[in-house]
């Protein structure tokens, strides 16, 4: 696939965010829709099910991917839902979550009976979160769809120490609002990361940490394992909606080599979604480091599976694909 350097898509100059780091080495509430022609692998929906949908209608692809994994089966009338963004900067999608996804998903949740829908994140300390939301278009998209904006630096923080977060011996802090909403949906993008290798659903909760905890994580020898354990903080993450319509397969997270797979990925299993996202990057072509490591052996994927879904493996992963031309190459990377 053709790759080009994404240098002019940003609405503002990209900020070098981590120079110092370079010194560190179930029935669904959605209507049941029969599989259409071109759905290559239906399978049986399991907790390890991941849907990949490609369609010229992006809204269809988003809704279809969620439907294939019964992704809104958790939702009851009046439930509150927090959409956790990937908002490291004011650079537009695919450096940050797409306003389109925020708008369509908020409307879908409202249609399915959700009560309050919140859209939130905390950008790095050298950024202003609200300005980043406005600069990316997320603010207007969320408000127009009827969501409430939350910036985590303005929210109360609570200390947590999940039992399985063994690489965080002193625990970490997260926004109290995570415990006050009924459900959380994460909205990652398909991106490589200069230090972590890749950044998707598991790493999205770095944006919930106060800066001291972020610094401690980045300075740890168990950096990649710590990433996977942050998502243990909230106990109500229901869905990962990984926007792989566009992404970076080198560089990242704020800018990099632009790719356009055109795919929406959904799973109720945050580790499974990341494994499939990483397989997609490898199938397209990515950094030497990611190319050299097996998907299941990446420390963040491996630890994410250990703490979230110990039974997940190539043997138990179910792929539900529709319209994805390179699904065979993705399966090859996953050994399924």
Q: Check the CA dihedral 30-33-35-38 and report its sign.
A: negative
Supply 54's token pair: 């490609």
Radius of gyration over every alpha carbon of the chain, rounded to an integer in angstroms: 18
pLDDT the model gives residue 219: 86
72 burial via Cβ count (<10 Å: 0-12, 13-18, 19+): buried
| Degrees, nearest 5: CA angle 26-28-32 | 115
Q: Mention every residue, 6+ apart, whose C-beta is less than 8 A from residue 336.
A: 314, 317, 319
Element (H, E) at 180: helix 177-180
- Which residues make beta-bridge pairs with 267? 240
Supply 255's token pair: 């800018």
What CATH fold (topology level) applies to the domain 44-334?
Rossmann fold (3.40.50)
Residues 28 and 42: their CA atoms lie apart, in Å, by: 16
By the 8 A CB rule, do 245 and 58 touch?
A: yes
pLDDT the model gives residue 47: 64
Query: Roughly what angle, to the nearest 10 degrees, separates helices 223-230 and 211-218?
Result: 140
Residues 284 and 331: their CA atoms lie apart, in Å, by: 12
The pTM score is 0.87
Neighbouring C-alpha atoms within 13 Å toward the C-beta of 31: 4
pLDDT the model gives residue 20: 35
- CA distances in angstroms from 248 to 85, 198, 200, 261, listed in the order given: 17, 9, 11, 10
Per-residue pLDDT of the chain (336 residues; tens, 9 = 90+): 434 444 333 333 333 333 333 333 323 333 333 333 334 443 344 568 999 999 999 999 999 999 999 999 999 999 999 999 999 999 999 999 999 999 999 999 999 999 999 999 999 888 999 999 999 999 999 999 999 999 999 999 999 999 999 999 999 999 999 999 999 999 999 999 999 999 999 999 998 999 899 888 988 889 999 999 999 999 999 999 999 999 999 999 999 999 999 999 999 999 999 999 999 999 999 999 999 999 999 999 999 999 999 999 999 999 999 999 999 999 999 999
By the 8 A CB rule, do 238 and 229 touch?
A: no
**250: number of Cβ within 10 Å:** 19
Question: Parallel, antiparallel, or unpaired for β 148-151 and 117-121?
Answer: parallel
């Amino acid at each position: 696939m053709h790759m080009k350097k994404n240098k002019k898509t940003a609405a503002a100059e990209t900020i070098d965010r981590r120079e110092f780091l370079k010194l560190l080495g179930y029935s669904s509430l959605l209507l049941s829709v029969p599989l259409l022609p071109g759905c290559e692998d239906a399978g049986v929906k399991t907790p390890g099910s991941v849907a990949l949908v490609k369609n010229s209608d992006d809204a269809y692809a988003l809704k279809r991917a969620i439907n294939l994994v019964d992704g809104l089966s958790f939702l009851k009338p009046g439930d509150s839902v927090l959409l956790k963004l990937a908002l490291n900067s004011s650079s537009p999608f695919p450096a940050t979550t797409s306003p389109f996804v925020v708008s369509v998903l908020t409307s879908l949740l409202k249609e399915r009976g959700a009560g309050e829908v919140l859209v939130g994140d905390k950008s790095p300390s050298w950024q202003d979160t609200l300005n980043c939301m406005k600069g990316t278009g997320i603010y207007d998209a969320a408000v127009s769809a009827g969501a409430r904006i939350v910036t985590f630096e303005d929210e109360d923080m609570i200390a947590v120490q999940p039992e399985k977060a063994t690489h965080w011996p002193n625990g970490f802090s997260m926004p109290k609002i995570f415990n006050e909403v009924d459900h959380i949906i994460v909205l990652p993008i398909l991106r490589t990361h200069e230090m972590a290798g890749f950044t998707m659903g598991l790493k999205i909760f770095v944006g919930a940490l106060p800066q001291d905890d972020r610094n401690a994580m980045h300075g740890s020898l168990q950096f990649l394992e710590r990433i996977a354990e942050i998502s243990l903080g909230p106990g109500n993450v229901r869905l990962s909606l990984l926007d792989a319509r566009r992404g970076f397969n080198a560089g990242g997270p704020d800018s990099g080599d632009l790719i356009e797979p055109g795919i929406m990925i959904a799973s109720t299993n945050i580790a499974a979604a990341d494994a499939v996202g990483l397989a997609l990057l490898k199938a397209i072509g990515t950094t030497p480091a990611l190319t050299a490591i097996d998907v299941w052996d990446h420390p963040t994927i491996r630890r994410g599976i250990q703490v979230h879904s110990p039974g997940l493996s190539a043997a138990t992963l179910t792929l539900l694909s529709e319209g994805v031309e390179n699904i065979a190459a993705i399966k090859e990377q996953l050994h399924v």
